[in-house]
With several copies, the nearest count.
Chain A
Amino acid sequence: MSTMTFGRAINAGLRKALEDDPKVILLGEDIGKLGGVFRVTDGLQKDFGSHRVVDTPLAEAGIMGCAVGLAYRGYRPVVEIQFDGFIYPAFDQIVCQVAKLHYRTQGKVTMPITIRVPFGGGIGSPEHHSESPEAYFTHTSGLRVVAVSNPQDAYSMLRQAIASNDPVLYFEPKRRYHIKGEVTEHPEPGNGLALGSAQVVTRGGDITLVTYGPLVRTALDAATAAADDGVSVEVIDLRSLSPIDFDTVETSVRKTGRLVIAHEASQSGGLGAEIATTITERCFNYLEAPPVRITGFDIPYPPSKLESHHLPDLDRILDGVDRALGRQNSLSAWERDRDDH
């Protein structure tokens, strides 16, 4: 066990995967000498060679299509998409090929491709550098989708993603790359943590707060703040976005009767809707209030000077907690007014 940053933990996971399996091959833009724009692949090309850590031409469809071909040939490609907003040129190859080939070929061809995507906002970047496109992929059958929130999961789930015979979208919360944590570098990828499981990160009895990726830390802060206010929040880090570990969420909501979901992605059609709906299906008689979503607005990601308004933060999450608890919140006055009419 050692202390390392988030970025370092991913680097360690990649290194281990490259060491363990000669079929693992990294593809991406600027991942070689530069070590990636976030330095996540730092030193890997030097140690494993440019045939294993491959700087590719600047074309995301090309990268993804070649990864498919490599997978056909028995390789396990790990693709880096430089920023969330640059995954769309590869969308066709992901949706029509990566996601469908196993189904198309009745299991004859596997697509053990890991697609690493630094995602989310909060780093003051220009357009297309702060997006949260996960819902496009969770709506795409044939893909697995995970989002990691801490160095240990970053390490372990990356190893599991690479070991998985299914394609995995692996979302890295870029604004958390610098946070540090203890990491045990398991010798084997499996090691207890299933790729599809959520994690209860703080226990609480009054309300369930579900989130993933960058907002897990925000949610923990919110739980602490709420505790000061006498509210006991159970925070669940979803970790796996497809499939979702609904059993864990259901167990919690049956206990608390109240649910808040937070994500940076836009609200309409975001993961919050799927979680709220499925939990309503499964816990209808236990819910004391409708699930509350605290999310990015239904707008393109705004200029960085305004991003703090778009991104759910501690206060907005607490406001949502108040709403779910039926306490005084930003909409109470308005709702009273409306109901009076």
Chain B
Amino acid sequence: MLVDELSLSTGHDDLPDSEGDNFIQLIAPDGRRRENVEFDPWVLDVSDEQLASLYQDMVVIRRIDTEATYLQRQGELALWPPLLGQEAAQIGSGRALREDDFVFPSYRENGVAYCRGVNLGDIVRVWRGNAHSGWDPYELNMATPQVIIGAQSLHATGYAMGIKNDDSDAVALTYFGDGATSQGDVNEAMVFAASFQVPVIFFCQNNQWAISEPVGLQARVHISSRAPGFGIPSIRVDGNDVLAVLAATRMAMHRARTGGGPTFIEAVTYRMGPHTTADDPTRYRDKAEMDQWAAKDPISRLEALLKSRGVLTPELELSVTAKADAVAREMREACINMPAPAPMDVFSHVYSEPNLALDTQKENYARYLQSFAADHVEGTNQ
């Protein structure tokens, strides 16, 4: 067939369907394990114990999210971008990574940062307004939050060019949202990644919304359909199914490590909370939709599976809660006790080498700040 006729839907309102057989699902919303000949092999090694650990991760990052939302309400954070609902997408992919892989996230991947071993205070440093970045990217092998939509996809691609030049088998993985797929940068990243066949994974969390815009405004066909046209194989996975996400990411990782080049993953999920704490989603989406997605909650389905297997014992529940409590407490403490940056820090690290012009501004501002002290002294002397 020479003409690719697509059966296009006719309006923006009918979102691409996110149900049923058109994505990879290993755990159904009710917790039943579904067989999949292609992807099961990738998670054969996942023991009940490891499932329980994935469960704990998801509970913990949901708790981090809740706690941070509280901190924002209490005025301790200026803003917070919730990950509520996207726990499986973040833990399933984050746990598929090796230490020497490098992550280029957007602003919403705080769950992934947790997987990378971030100090809990460092997660909220940016959102408190204390700094533009919370951690040393080279300590976690994870870049700090990127606000410019899609920009990080190119950084990951360039980083992967470096990996390839270095003859390493590390992988660069970049996260972005459904909205980001409309940006030129993300599309150019696919062009470069395909052209140079570099080990990069494009991990799109399609959480159905870009602030108030439904995914159907960005794309009239599945987002995962985009990449093959660039020569990049893609996978559409149930983003609320931690096992399926793990399997898909592992498969893509393997391809990348073994010289197979880039892969695009669309993780179909849902932003259960507001875009950020500053957003009011009631203006643009209705309860019916939220209810529908609540039934597909990534944590409850794993809970159901674990229960059905007798893994989710009261002891486990207790220890998971204790862990979540401890993490939340640690984050809160670190947040509240975070030392404020010093005024003269505004001038630090603009350049890595001396810059006379800026030094002059800095010295003059120091004199300005001192002049208040001086004024005071002079005032006293009068």
Give residues in A with beta carbon < 8 Å to B. 25, 29-30, 32-35, 37, 51, 54-59, 61-62, 64-75, 77, 85-86, 88-89, 92-93, 96-97, 100, 102-110, 124-129, 141-142, 144, 164-166, 196, 242-246, 267-268, 297-300, 302-306, 309-310, 316, 319, 329-331, 333-334
Least CB separation from A42: chain B residue: B283
Q: Specify which of B132, B160, B183 is in contact with A104 (CB 8 Å cutoff).
A: B132
| One of A85, A164, A267 near B361 (C-beta < 8 A) | A267
How close is A263's CB to chain B, nearest CB, in angstroms? Answer: 15
B311 within 8 A of A: no
Sample of 24 A–B contacts (CB below 8 Å): A33-B283, A54-B161, A57-B179, A57-B192, A59-B182, A62-B184, A68-B155, A69-B161, A69-B162, A72-B137, A72-B159, A73-B162, A89-B183, A106-B131, A108-B136, A108-B137, A125-B78, A126-B107, A126-B126, A126-B129, A126-B132, A299-B346, A299-B350, A309-B343
Q: Are A55 and B213 in contact (CB under 8 A)?
A: yes
Note all chain B residues with C-beta closer than 8 A to A65.
Answer: 151, 153-155, 157-158, 185, 188-189
In the complex where A106-B133, A243-B356 touch, is A57 in contact with B188 (Cβ < 8 A)?
A: yes
Q: Is the CB of B162 within 8 A of A300?
A: no
**CA of A57 to CA of B157, assembled, Å:** 13
Interface residue? B148 (CB, 8 A): yes
Give the residues in chain A near B210, CB-CB below 8 Å.
29, 58
Q: How many interface residues does B have (CB within 8 Å)?
A: 82
A-B contact sample (14 more), CB < 8 A, given A55-B212, A100-B132, A129-B147: A35-B283, A51-B164, A55-B217, A66-B157, A72-B102, A73-B102, A126-B107, A166-B353, A243-B356, A268-B357, A299-B346, A305-B129, A330-B367, A333-B374
Cβ-defined contact, A69 with B151, below 8 A: no
A59 touches B188 (CB 8 A): yes
Shortest CB distance A273–B (Å): 13
Decide if B183 touches A58 in the complex (CB within 8 Å): yes
- Give the docked Cα–Cα distance between A109 and B374 (Å): 38
Contact of A34 with B212 in the complex, beta carbons under 8 Å: yes
**Complex contact A70–B368 (CB within 8 A):** no
User: Which residues of chain A are near B218, meaning CB under 8 Å?
Assistant: 57-58
Contact of A57 among B151, B195, B284 (CB under 8 A): B195
Q: How far in angstroms is the closest Cβ of chain B from A169?
A: 14
Give Cα A95–Cα B95 distance, bound, in whole angstroms: 33
- Least Cβ distance of B121 to chain A in Å? 14
* B154 with A69: CB separation less than 8 A: yes
Is the contact region of chain A dominated by helix, strand, or loop, or is it mixed?
loop
**Which B residues are in CB contact (< 8 Å) with A319?**
368, 371
CB pair A58–B165 under 8 Å, yes or no, is no
Report the bound CA distance from A86 to B362 in whole Å. 28
Task: For A66, give its contact among B158, B357, B367 (CB under 8 Å).
Answer: B158
Q: Is the CB of A126 within 8 A of B158?
A: no
Given the known inter-chain contacts A58-B183, A86-B148, A305-B341, please indicate yes or no for A73 contacting B78, CB distance below 8 A. Answer: no
Closest to B200 in A: A69
Bitwise interface map of B from 364 to 376 toward A, beta carbon under 8 Å scored 1, else 0: 1101101100100
Q: Which residues of B contact A (CB under 8 A)?
A: 78-79, 102, 104, 107, 126-133, 136-138, 143-144, 147-149, 151, 153-166, 172, 179-180, 182-185, 188-189, 191-192, 195, 210-213, 217-218, 278, 283-284, 340-341, 343, 345-353, 355-358, 361-362, 364-365, 367-368, 370-371, 374
Across the interface, which residues of B come within 8 angstroms of A96, CB to CB?
148, 151
Alpha-carbon distance A210/B349, docked complex (angstroms): 30
Contact B156 A69 (CB under 8 A): yes
State the CA gap A30–B211 with chains docked (Å). Answer: 7
Chain B interface secondary structure, helix, strand, loop or mixed?
helix
Contacts of B153 in A (CB 8 A): 65
CA distance A124 to B358 in the complex (A): 24
* With A34-B283, A106-B349 as contacts: A57 and B136 at CB distance below 8 Å: no
Considering the complex, give the chain A residue whose CB is closest to the CB of B214.
A55
Closest beta carbon of chain B to A189's beta carbon, Å: 13
Q: Is the CB of A66 within 8 A of B130?
A: no
List chain A residues, Cβ under 8 A from B278.
Answer: 37
The residue that B132 contacts in the complex, of A55, A93, A303, with Cβ under 8 A, is: A303
Query: Which of A33, A75, A196, A305 has the most chain B CB atoms inside 10 A of its CB?
Result: A305
In the complex, are the beta carbons of A103 and B130 less than 8 A apart? no
Q: A25-B165, A329-B371 are in contact. Are A62 and B191 (CB under 8 A)?
A: yes
Given contacts A267-B361, A297-B347, contact A58 B353 (CB under 8 A): no
In the complex, what distance in Å separates the CA atom of A128 from the CA atom of B83?
Answer: 21
Instruction: Tell me which residues across on chain A come within 8 A of B182, comparing CB atoms.
Output: 57-59, 62
When distances are taken between beta carbons in the complex, the residues of chain A under 8 Å from B130 are: 303, 305
Given the contacts A58-B182, A62-B182, A104-B133, A97 and B155 also touching, CB distance less than 8 Å = yes
Q: Which residues of A contact B128 (CB under 8 A)?
A: 305
Contact across chains for B148 and A92 when beta carbons are under 8 A apart: yes
Across-interface contacts of B172 in A (CB, < 8 A): 69
Q: Would you call B148 and A302 a contact (CB within 8 A)? A: no
CB distance from A112 to the nearest CB of B (A): 8
Say whether A62 contacts B192, CB under 8 Å: yes
Q: How many Å lie between the Cα of A87 and that of B121 in the bound state?
A: 32
Contact A126 B147 (CB under 8 A): yes
Say which residue of B195, B356, B365, B370 sits within 8 Å of A309 (CB atoms): B365
Closest to A124 in B: B78
CB-CB under 8 A from B345, the residues of chain A are: 302, 306
Contacts of A29 in B (CB 8 A): 210-211, 213
* Smallest Cβ-Cβ distance to A334: which chain B residue: B367
| Chain B residues whose CB sits within 8 angstroms of the CB of A124 once the complex forms | 78, 129
In this complex, what residue of A is CB-closest to B151? A97
Taking CB atoms, residues of chain A closer than 8 Å to B166 are: 73
Q: List chain A residues, Cβ under 8 A from B346.
A: 297, 299, 302, 306, 309-310
Given the complex, which residues of A lie within 8 Å of B127, measured CB to CB? 126
* Residue of B212, B278, B374 most packed against chain A (CB within 10 A): B212
Contact B188 A61 (CB under 8 A): yes
Contact B352 A69 (CB under 8 A): no
The 5 closest A-B pairs by CB, nearest first: A69-B158, A65-B154, A73-B162, A66-B158, A304-B129
Chain B nearest CB, measured from A180 CB (Å): 22
Closest chain A CB from B259 CB (angstroms):
14
| Docked-complex contact A70 and B191, CB < 8 angstroms | no
